[in-house]
Chain A
Amino acid sequence: MRYHPLSEADRNAMLATIGVSDVEALYADAPASTLLKAPLDLPRHKSEFEVERIFSRLSARNTSAGRVPFFVGAGAYRHHVPASVDHLIQRSEFLTSYTPYQPEISQGTLQVLFEFQTQVALLTGMEVANASMYDGSTATAEAVLMAHRLTKRRKALLSGGLHPHYAEVVRTISRLAEDEVADMAPDVLGAEDLIAKIDETVSCVVVQTPDFFGNLRDLTKIADACHENGALLVAVFTEAVSLGLLTPPGAMGADIVVGEGQSIGNALNFGGPYVGLFATRHDYVRQMPGRLAGESVDAEGRRAYVLTLSTREQHIRRDKATSNICTNSGLCALAFSIHLALLGEAGLRKLAKLNHANAVALAEMLEKVPNVEVLNKSFFNEFALRVKGDAAALVERLAARGVLAGVPVSRLLPKAGLDDLLLVASTETSTHEDRAAFIAALKETL
């Protein structure tokens, strides 16, 4: 078949060199009982065209965001990605290279990671960032574990505004690692009193802004309360574009900042692959998880980049490593970095403003619809609506009318008594016509 360069003649010649009569002889170490006696019941190989046909049919069974008025967010956001980004990440030298363990022939990837780390540090207002994690949720769990190592405490306090999936990921690893988690109730209005819960047993407080319900949070006082109690503030974001317009967590006293980088450079992809961003203070760098690219020089004194501080990592430290992570999100980090380089400061600010303005425009229209209430005092590009009746059923009715209207809160928090809440996001990709279509469909179905 097309992917196998060896011919039968090649194979026979190679077997002769090896000195065996057939390939089966090379499997001699495998106990006979473990070797298949007959081929598996799987289809035979297919032409490229045939594979394309199968995938096209599967793809057509999904409603893609670009085909409909689309307002779905809750941790993954549809933004326009410039054509050059996807072209550049498909360069063979980026797409088909491994982790840059041989720096002399990996300077491309290493310089990209160094630039990525700098961009993430600038965006979050932190001193240092790593070369990426799997996604925002796993980065959050790693931040909690890192805070436990730094404080030698084992209790995380999770805000009720933290994305429910992120909270579940933290709870899962904490339960199985036998660490403690203190939960706040879902906090629709961003009004919870976290400070009252912070004491000297708490390792870290995990707060998201914009939070799951869209509220913007000032973290300054929470940071102060953390530090008075020897705890760390872990700030989380799920919409990286918001950092173009909002005070960064680093300027509000956060000790570790983690988040989802998908919305810059990366498609929705039904949830992955995405790119986890992870930033902290320089003093904590040796407790950081994940890879780090650093600057050095080569034997001729020329500037060069190399993976560094790897004594934190699993391939060196094994069971004493700061994390078990190995493969990260290199190519998604590249896409993030290219898109952000294209945007630059001016473009990112403008993009963030447009996102906010589109969301405000949508909120203004929704506020005029009977039986709909916008709950947020502040938001970036997403907010919570209270609707009459069951929001999940409403979303299904609107989908049947060709509008993907948002995320019912009950899908993520099924037993919280929030069945009438709907999260609605509006990025730069939704137009006035989209908003009008949404409102019209809403009025018909409510």
Chain B
Amino acid sequence: MLDRPAPIEDIESPETFTGNRALDQEEPLLFEIGRRDATGVDVDDAPQVASRLGGLERKEAIGLPGLSEPEAVRHYVRLSRKNYSIDAGLYPLGSCTMKHNPRLNEKMARLEGFADIHPLQPVSTAQGALALMETLAHWLMTLTNTHAIALSPKAGAHGELCGMMAIKSAIAAKGEGATRNVALIPQSAHGTNPATAALLGFSVRVVPAAADGTVRARAVRDALGPDVAAIMLTNPNTCGLFEREIVEIAEAVREAGTYFYCDGANLNAIAGVARPGDFGVDAMHINLHKTFSTPHGGGGPGAGPVALSERLAPFAPVPFIRRDGETLELVEHAEGTQSFGRMTAFHGQMGMFVRALAYLLAHGGDGIAQSSRDAVLSANYIRASLRDVMTQPFGDRPCMHEVLFDDAWLKGTGVTTLDFAKAMIDEGYHPMTMYFPLVAHGAMLIEPTESESKASLDLFVATLRDLAKSAKAGDTKRFTEAPRFAPRRRVDETLAARKPVLRWRAA
């Protein structure tokens, strides 16, 4: 374990003329520095023609500011420096999977034969793109042991919608649409699960978790009935635990004539080690931006292909790829099939497919399994290194790729989970996921991923131990005043919500 260095005396920090602090530079809004007549793009002059706009020309100015190229580059570079990133440091956001983003994948996605092709050019001129999609689907089917992959969903939540639409269609096809209208969802589920179910008109029945943080088959059996359409379960679950009774749960669900939707957000713990199809999953979305490392990009884009069991595969959305000998075809219309229809324009997140397949080919089957094992090993290493100073809501037992702590150990210190997270920022870390899952009080969900070296994990552990010591020793200012060294101190979220200012307006 590393020791905390001796504290240095506070040096006086005088104001600067600019308000900047060396590399820490303030940056005004685009609208405060841009000018209506400035531009950073030289556009060719238009040929002289008679307008055919039918009298619908814009009459008023738009009000958009412009910047020359040097000004634009500086504006966005300066803004970028106010962000934390996985490239700059450990980013232990549980459930979000912030792992290394290989730059090879970016390079491959920018090859002209992928980036500069149109979704509606003749498929005869895009056979390489379809072959790539087919290959990606093959990898995903092999890793999940499922029957079909719907590639088009745009992100995890869109994938959930896809899976639940397939389930609703299958139920309707059996003539049970009017009676089966309940989705079973554990309390620990991601918020997207109940939101997705509600979007399709399902009502949500909450399945309680047992004292060990997992769902019991008995609890599922008790909740099942002729009104249940599906169970939405995350495995490994959001507490970072493998659902021990998953096989019995899947059997109970199947016996009850209903379907098992698995939230695949945590596939990165088991890819290459266990296959969701082997524990009875009917539908599962795969967050390519989590498990297969297409970058998160500050909130997207993602991609959420859905693995489907044999009994749901016929209901998959259009488009899908069909092979005719050497030729790949794109089935774009649902007529004449059982497909439930179309979820998005065009064919899905091709740019993400390229990145994910580059990740898969680079890792190989061996590397994927190693990633899962290292992710699980690293999370357990953090658990074992912190278990004597922090508390776990469900006891000290092996976790999967993320370890869940609660705030019981902070009781009486005057420090909350939020304070603790903000103090981590001062130490140069992005905080872990806070207050999720809801089943743990003051939850702190830590996911280190397989991308951290042992030295990095050791420094992280030493830092959290030092923070824990401070909290328990009554050094509350280190927490309640944090962050002190970030580009901004704590931001007033209440003010933002009470008087929403959602855009710039001229003064």
Contact = CB atoms under 8 A, between A and B. Distances in A.
Do A and B make up one complex? yes
B259 interface: no
Given A342-B39, A378-B53, A45 B367 contact: yes
A43 B358 contact: no
A275 B349 CA distance: 11
A229 interface: no
Interface stretch (B7-15, B377-385, B463-471): B377-385
Contacts of A292: 500, 502
Contacts of B425: 102, 104-105
Contacts of A64: 112-113, 116-117
Contact of A39 (B36, B369, B456): B369
A308 B500 contact: yes
Contact of B351 (A50, A260, A273, A337): A273
Interface stretch (B220-228, B305-313, B406-414, B485-493): B485-493
B504 interface: yes
A331 B298 contact: yes
Given A98-B91, A114-B29, A5 B452 contact: yes
Contact of A55 (B48, B102, B354): B354
Interface stretch (A28-36, A199-207, A437-445): A28-36
Contact of B64 (A76, A315, A344): A344
A267 to B, nearest CB: 4
Contact of B364 (A42, A340, A358): A42
Q: Which of B87, B199, B371, B450 has the most CB of A within 10 A?
A: B199
Contacts of A349: 62
Given A4-B450, A5-B452, A344-B67, A109 B200 contact: no
B165 A176 contact: yes
A192 B101 CA distance: 50
Given A39-B369, A92-B88, A317-B195, 8 more contacts: A30-B246, A98-B299, A172-B165, A318-B194, A327-B155, A330-B300, A344-B40, A346-B39
B350 A26 contact: no
Contacts of B126: 62-63, 270
Nearest to A66: B116
Give the contact-size bracket for chain A.
35 or more
B300 A327 contact: yes
Contacts of B104: 48, 51-52
Interface string B164-186: 01001100000000000000000
Interface string A316-337: 1111110111111111101001
Contact of B501 (A216, A294, A318): A294
B83 A93 contact: yes
A132 B300 CA distance: 10
Interface string A206-249: 00000000001110000000000000000000000001111110
Contact of A172 (B67, B110, B340): B340
Contacts of A122: 62-64
10 contacts: A40-B369, A94-B85, A95-B85, A246-B58, A297-B491, A319-B195, A326-B157, A331-B298, A341-B66, A379-B52
Contact of B493 (A33, A306, A379): A306
Interface in A52-101: 52, 54-67, 70, 72, 74-76, 78, 82, 84, 86-100
Nearest to A140: B345
B472 to A, nearest CB: 22
Interface string A112-156: 101101110111000111011011111000000100000000000
Interface in B44-92: 44-67, 69, 72-73, 75-77, 79-88, 91
B244 A29 contact: yes
A45 B365 CA distance: 7
B205 to A, nearest CB: 11
B83 A330 contact: no
A197 interface: no
B116 A272 contact: no
B23 to A, nearest CB: 13
* Residue of B62, B87, B352, B501 ringed by the most chain A CB atoms within 10 A: B62
Interface in B137-152: 139, 142-143
Closest 7 CB pairs of A and B: A344-B66, A59-B113, A271-B346, A378-B54, A331-B297, A42-B365, A61-B128
Contacts of A63: 117, 121, 125-126
- Most chain B CB within 10 A, of A67, A98, A246, is at A98
B342 A172 contact: yes
A55 to B, nearest CB: 5
B127 interface: yes
Nearest to B19: A302
B332 A411 contact: yes
B346 to A, nearest CB: 3
